Amino acid sequence: MAAMWHLLALLPLLSLVALSPVWALRTSASVAFHSLHLVSARDAWGYSQGGVYRTHDGGRHWQNRTPALTSGGLLEGGALDARHAWFTVSRAGEGPRLYRTRDGGVHWTWTRLFRQGSARVAFRDSQYGTAVVQLDRDRTHSAFVVLTSRDAGAHWGQVNSARPGHFRQALLQGGDLPDVSGLNDLRIQPGGFGLACGLSGPDQRPYVWQTRDGGRTFRDVAGQLPYAPAERRQFSSTRLAWSAGPLAVLLSDVQAGAPNERHVARLFRTEDAGRHWHTPAPLALPVHSGAALPAFADARHGWVWVRAVPDDQGQPGVSQLWRTGNGGENWRLLTPPFAATAAELTALSFADPQHGLAALRLGAGVSQLWRTDDAGEHWTQLDAS
């Protein structure tokens, strides 16, 4: 597809934010984290409904770093390190704004990312970013555009989109990507290699599309993935668990197609920008379980959370946390204290092969945080809720 470059951003505005007092989890349970980004053993960023927070002591105390120009809305964010972080928020009638900081949240700049919709942004380094702007959607279809930036998010250009069909906005003309509702991840590396993953369509094949030219063209590469013929019509969802340079790790949910078959999670790895793929033996999951959610620290060290769902008699199950240290060749079942609770795990993040944070939602506006310093073998609760 020919590149459709539209410079959409206005001049960034600098927002000075007064430092907020330290917020301690033990004395305030009013923040419910839906996203955590542990960037070192002690530094992490957390995002909530309308707020962004930072910790320097491994999650025991948090500082409010929410810029004054935001008001309400779910903040979708990320972080590279203790100083560089970002989030998007949509305001009625304005479209999504992108907020960025380079000094740990003391100051923020914001850019109007697009004139409509909502957005998710990922930066691979301090300069190169990818954004997916959701224009419209219903239960089965989605209209979105793909943007990239090479100047730390100050300016963005459209490079691709969903195909026109169910939705026929002019911005979709020439788009390569399927318009199924449920794009989980889309990341493009500075060298041009990128992957788009999501919910499978009616054919139940893996939703995996690849670009080598920075997003200007995408092609379906599900047929290149090595999986069993019996699984061809059983894939429900694929996520991009980790990527950097030519390396990438995908995690696919494969539903049981018959009573004697298992629900499994299948890992796919590439070390050469998608030219060749390898898959270890699948990870067998409980019959009554939800989607497998990955959290990888690098291409070899990863964790998969499997949420339990009630069985046919309505009895609750026990959720599972699995760990691999060799790219999925072997898995170890861990026993975190929160696996047997009914609380929803909303965030799981590892900075390296040893240090991780997890957030559980106990109720409206209430989070419970847990920390591990030994790869998930043992967990310490950080809040008193």
> Tens digits of per-residue pLDDT, 206-265?
999 999 999 999 999 999 999 877 776 688 899 999 999 999 999 999 887 666 667 889
Q: How far apart are CA 53 and CA 24, in angstroms?
A: 11
In a domain, 151, yes or no: no
10 Å CB burial of residue 202 (0-12, 13-18, 19+) is exposed
> Alpha-carbon torsion 219, 224, 226, 232, what sign?
positive
In a domain, 384, yes or no: no
Question: Which residues of the chain have a pLDDT value below 70?
Answer: 1-30, 70-73, 232-233, 257-261, 363-365, 383-385
In a domain, 43, yes or no: no
What residues make up the domain containing 226?
185-334
In a domain, 8, yes or no: no
Instruction: Give the pTM.
Output: 0.87
The pLDDT assigned to 1 comes to 41
Q: How far apart are CA 150 and CA 1, in angstroms?
A: 20
The pLDDT assigned to 10 comes to 31
DSSP single-letter state for residue 260:
T
Q: For residue 210, which phi and psi values (nearest 5 degrees)? A: -125, 145
CATH number, position 313: 2.115.10.20
In a domain, 174, yes or no: no
Q: How far apart are CA 230 and CA 282, in angstroms?
A: 13
Number of domains comprising the chain = 1
DSSP single-letter state for residue 280:
-
H runs (alpha helix) in 6-119: none
DSSP single-letter state for residue 213:
S
In a domain, 73, yes or no: no
Tens digits of per-residue pLDDT, 162-174? 999 888 888 898 9
With beta carbons less than 8 A apart as the criterion, state whether 117 and 134 touch: yes
The pLDDT assigned to 8 comes to 34
In a domain, 90, yes or no: no
In a domain, 247, yes or no: yes
> Alpha-carbon torsion 75, 80, 81, 84, what sign?
negative
The pLDDT assigned to 21 comes to 35
